[in-house]
Structure 1
């Protein structure tokens, strides 16, 4: 027993070291976990023989629950709302089109059996949330035209559709379902998945709102359990568990929870561990000696998928929305395949349906190709297509800014028309419990005294007590576009909810502290607080 525990600990520590090394090299860290699994596996250096597909399918399906849930939990609805329709179409019709195009290529060009071709197309039709989230967030890639939230929402929500197609094709291969049964299967997967996800999230939100100052991580454990309930409850009644848990994550993640920072840190750690677990197990399960046998077929499918099937699907959906060509090209390229595709391939392998080809290793090869080539080049292609944007829409809490000491600092610039310009500090009435601690005057640092006169150009640093841990305030960013209903209005003219306030405005490279007469311009990023 101790030997196994030590082995697991060593693998986790090596994964963490590889994560840091691959990050410096600019390569997707998930590739490191797969390669490490291959090193420990049957054909690797440590020769650990492992071929239990059924166990891996169960473990990886469990791990995907938390990856899907946190994918929704970390998605800002304010950022996703402008691209919601596009993302939903990409995650549904885009998946179907990709599966059909790829399946047709396998059947008519590679001469693979029809249903087996459709199975391969279905299994690899979705983009992988773990791969996309990992690269976008680890590289801090901020993209124009709401492309980052488009990719995140699409990759987080299209696994359920791929899973549904895989189930349908496997049922057809065994001949156990009629047309009416197929229709009901699709209906149940979508409708029950949505209903359970929404219902579970709203019930959880009601319970969390009634908790008074949750301690000892009770709320964290509760949300952990809710992620499992949303998946299991939907699956038990024939719904799509992955769709359910993703929707539950979106709803809870966009509610003003009292302890959201702790939840984010917890699920960051859990999701990171689950990603390591999935990709290591998939590498361990593979037999690299079998890859040359399927390399030709798998490479042909990977190239067709990357350069034909995915772009055709993306352009068919995004062109009617008049999306820029550069955005469509980037979305096409960023359609990474990952753990979900391999897990679905394992599901097909353990299914009683007969398959002539080694679907698992074919999909495994395609995922390696996708993560290593496409994933590594996403930052470079984003720059070449001029899609990099320095602004980002990220939901934060006050406690994200300072945790080390119970004091917060704010900065004020004194302009020539500022009310404090030319006045001594002793003549200025500061709010109670607010202290002026430093004056920056050019390169000079001045300790303030009562008779110190403030001059135009001075920068003042003031301190105040930190917000107590039980008081939280969610911050969201809203970018003002050409068609925004707020464009050209003064802040005093905005009709905001009672619990919301515009705290600051980011205008190009400047940060403005707003007042009632401040006019909103195109491109402004409004930071709103919500109690």
Structure 2
């Protein structure tokens, strides 16, 4: 217990230095585990593959549950089918490519190469969730949603391939394509159905059963682990089930969601830290050097050839730009999942099991070092980022009937500019049953409440508490960051002016001197963007119209509401 506490403490303290250096936090936990191992300064002799496998699966279930709770269903509008394509066909293509290359390079049977390809064929949810949310960049919804959903949904295919190939090596049977397809259908079907139904049941329990606030997250964790293990026991994919259960709960508009999320975040970090520490302890660093060059070649082939080809083929039917394809292939991070999968052949006692494990571990280290440390840099280079939208710092649900006009939430906004005013209608408004307009609750300056009237000037650093309907929060957030939203960064990205999506294209052409050929009186700016860019549009998508650059600034579902307009810009 003392050693476990010290290792966690050292890892967490070291993580602050890693953030400044731009390295993935998960790399710290792996490194501390390796340093504490038998060849490190800790001299801890740990070789219990079964315990590491158990802890790894347990931790991954918690991480996927938390990841599902943080994924918004709105991203499914543009990312569901591309993600499923990558999570199924993408894993198979990566497995085949890496398998053939590894079998040739290592001079082993093709089935061993395919097993290695299956082990490293899926992206890692823990690594993707962690790096995307701590990278400091906001990806456009199409790219970010695809990466998150793919990482949460591709584990079933990878596990199925690893289990079947391991079984074939144990029994020397022939691979039945029909048996494989039937097993794949069973894994996805049971995982999806039970995960969604379990999430609905958990949501009902959370709404109906009163508990001490701190117990809600524990209830979610225990329910999620029961779903995970139960689905595995009946032959489904527990990873997919627990991810979908978390997705259902996270989008269920619970009053307690804000406090639950904070506890879940801590539990997910504990799961990641514990898992990576244990996996770091399990490996012997000197053994990694035995096949270091081969592992480096396989990692390079995976990162620069196999993954990009799989992404390009899988996303071919969808409206992705080449830069988005490249970034999705680059953030195909490998992490704990491949290491845990590499324990299957070790536990099964296969002849080349240690070789597969050592190469997998090295591939993961290279992926985290090379890809993980460049996530924000490559995102900016490929221009798949959008400026962060103004948002409240704190949210509390008071009435959780979000589909009703009676829904009510308390928000805190952080003022980022001086000389702003609270609209008179908000200051003078009194509480009403329908919350038709925002209601001011308090203005806090220097930790003291302020008396507010229509002449009150806000200062940077003020905190505003307001009662709002969830549909109004974006508009209010923009109002309190008005000057910030017109900063050079946002002007350069969206443009100097904003127009409505239904603005007449003909009027726009007349005002800015764009040729009128082919423009009818009914054409709108939104229709132009849809014609040029396709149907699955997100904030940040842009198109040219004469000497204008039009950039989507705000959307409501599939409808373009606000478009940024920039003059005389030659860059796309």
Is the TM value for this pair above 0.5?
yes
- 1:377 corresponds to which residue? 374
How has the CA–CA distance of structure 1 residues 460 and 361 changed in structure 2, closer, same or farther, with 3 Å as cutoff?
closer
Question: Secondary structure at the residue paired with 1:520?
Answer: strand
- From 152, 157, 162, the equivalent of 1:156 is 152
Say yes or no: does 1:19 pair with 2:19. no
Say yes or no: does 1:520 pair with 2:561. yes
How has the CA–CA distance of structure 1 residues 145 and 131 changed in structure 2, closer, same or farther, with 3 Å as cutoff?
same
Residues of 2 paired with 1:327 and 1:341: CA distance? 25
How has the CA–CA distance of structure 1 residues 343 and 227 changed in structure 2, closer, same or farther, with 3 Å as cutoff?
same
Say yes or no: does 1:67 pair with 2:63. yes
1:214 Cα deviation (Å)?
Answer: 3.4
Note the alpha carbon deviations across 1:269-292, whole angstroms, 9 max, x for none: 011011111111111111011111
- From 139, 145, 158, the equivalent of 1:143 is 139
Which structure carries more relative contact order (alpha carbon 8 Å, separation 6+)?
A: 1
Question: Secondary structure at the residue paired with 2:291?
Answer: helix
How large is the Cα RMSD of the aligned pairs?
Answer: 3.9
Residues of 2 paired with 1:463 and 1:133: CA distance? 30
Residues of 2 paired with 1:77 and 1:414: CA distance? 35
Residues of 2 paired with 1:219 and 1:311: CA distance? 41
Say yes or no: does 1:122 pair with 2:122. no
Residues of 2 paired with 1:473 and 1:44: CA distance? 52
How has the CA–CA distance of structure 1 residues 397 and 156 changed in structure 2, closer, same or farther, with 3 Å as cutoff?
farther
- 1:200 corresponds to which residue? 198
- From 321, 338, 342, the equivalent of 1:341 is 338
Note the alpha carbon deviations across 1:87-141, whole angstroms, 9 max, x for none: 1111111111111110111123442211111100000001111111111111232
Structure 2 unaligned regions, length at least 5: 398-409, 433-438, 476-493, 495-499, 504-538, 541-549, 555-559, 566-572
1:190 Cα deviation (Å)?
Answer: 1.7
1:437 Cα deviation (Å)?
Answer: 8.4
- 2:252 corresponds to which residue? 255
* Count of residues paired in the alignment: 465
Any conservation in 2 of the 1:398–1:472 contact (CA below 8 Å)?
no
1:473 Cα deviation (Å)?
Answer: 6.0
- From 242, 245, 255, the equivalent of 1:245 is 242
Residues of 2 paired with 1:281 and 1:439: CA distance? 46
After superposition, where does 1:73-222 map in structure 2 within 5 Å? 73-144=69-140, 146-175=142-171, 179=176, 181-211=179-209, 213-222=210-219
How has the CA–CA distance of structure 1 residues 78 and 294 changed in structure 2, closer, same or farther, with 3 Å as cutoff?
same
Residues of 1 paired with 2:144 and 2:330: CA distance? 13
Residues of 2 paired with 1:182 and 1:352: CA distance? 23
Residues of 2 paired with 1:395 and 1:103: CA distance? 48
- 1:268 corresponds to which residue? 265
Any conservation in 2 of the 1:398–1:475 contact (CA below 8 Å)?
no
- 2:328 corresponds to which residue? 331
Question: Secondary structure at the residue paired with 1:398?
Answer: strand
Off by >3 Å, runs of 4+ in structure 1:
180-184, 391-397, 406-415, 432-440, 446-449, 458-467, 471-478
Say yes or no: does 1:39 pair with 2:35. yes
Question: Secondary structure at the residue paired with 1:488?
Answer: coil
Any conservation in 1 of the 2:501–2:563 contact (CA below 8 Å)?
yes
1:174 Cα deviation (Å)?
Answer: 1.8
- 2:355 corresponds to which residue? 358
1:464 Cα deviation (Å)?
Answer: 8.6
Any conservation in 1 of the 2:393–2:411 contact (CA below 8 Å)?
no
- 2:430 corresponds to which residue? 431
- TM value normalised by structure 1: 0.78
How has the CA–CA distance of structure 1 residues 20 and 408 changed in structure 2, closer, same or farther, with 3 Å as cutoff?
closer
Q: Which moved more, 1:268-277 or 1:148-157?
A: 148-157
Note the alpha carbon deviations across 1:373-393, whole angstroms, 9 max, x for none: 111111111122122211369
- 1:233 corresponds to which residue? 230
Any conservation in 2 of the 1:69–1:227 contact (CA below 8 Å)?
yes
How has the CA–CA distance of structure 1 residues 36 and 474 changed in structure 2, closer, same or farther, with 3 Å as cutoff?
farther
Structure 1 unaligned regions, length at least 5: 401-405, 441-445, 490-504, 513-518, 525-531
Residues of 2 paired with 1:436 and 1:292: CA distance? 62
Question: Secondary structure at the residue paired with 1:399?
Answer: strand
Residues of 1 paired with 2:412 and 2:470: CA distance? 15
- From 361, 364, 368, the equivalent of 1:367 is 364
Q: Which moved more, 1:307-316 or 1:173-182?
A: 173-182
Any conservation in 2 of the 1:76–1:394 contact (CA below 8 Å)?
no
- TM value normalised by structure 2: 0.73
Any conservation in 1 of the 2:444–2:464 contact (CA below 8 Å)?
no
Residues of 1 paired with 2:428 and 2:442: CA distance? 15
Any conservation in 1 of the 2:443–2:465 contact (CA below 8 Å)?
no
Q: Which moved more, 1:132-141 or 1:354-363?
A: 354-363
Question: Secondary structure at the residue paired with 2:320?
Answer: coil
How has the CA–CA distance of structure 1 residues 72 and 270 changed in structure 2, closer, same or farther, with 3 Å as cutoff?
same
- 1:399 corresponds to which residue? 396
Residues of 1 paired with 2:66 and 2:300: CA distance? 31
